[in-house]
Copies of this chain bind each other. A is one copy, B any other.
Amino acid sequence: MRTTNVQDQVLRAALDLFSTQGYATTSVQEIVAAAGVTKGAMYHYFASKDDLLFAIYDRLLSLQKARLEEIVAAGAERGDGVEEVLRAVCEDVISTSIEFLPEGTVFTRSQHMLTPERQKEVKRRRREYHEEFEALLRRGIQEGLFRDDVPTAMLIAHFFSDVHYLSQWYSPTGPATAGQVAEQITELFLRGIRATT
Could you list which residues of chain A lie within 8 angstroms of chain B, going by C-beta atoms?
21-25, 108-109, 112-113, 150-151, 153-155, 157-158, 160-162, 164-165, 168-170, 175-176, 181, 184-185, 187-189, 191-193
The number of times this chain is found in the oligomer is 2
What are 7 A-B residue pairs whose CB atoms fall within 8 Å in the complex? Answer: A108-B109, A151-B175, A154-B185, A158-B185, A161-B161, A188-B192, A191-B192
Closest residue of chain B to A184 (Cβ to Cβ) is: B150
Q: Which of B108, B113, B165, B189 contacts A25 (CB 8 A)?
A: B113
Residues of chain B with a CB closer than 8 A to A192's CB: 187-189, 191-192
Q: Which of B113, B150, B162 contacts A22 (CB 8 A)?
A: B113
Residues of chain B with a CB closer than 8 A to A175's CB: 151
Q: Which of B23, B113, B169 contacts A157 (CB 8 A)?
A: B169
Chain B nearest CB, measured from A168 CB (Å): 8
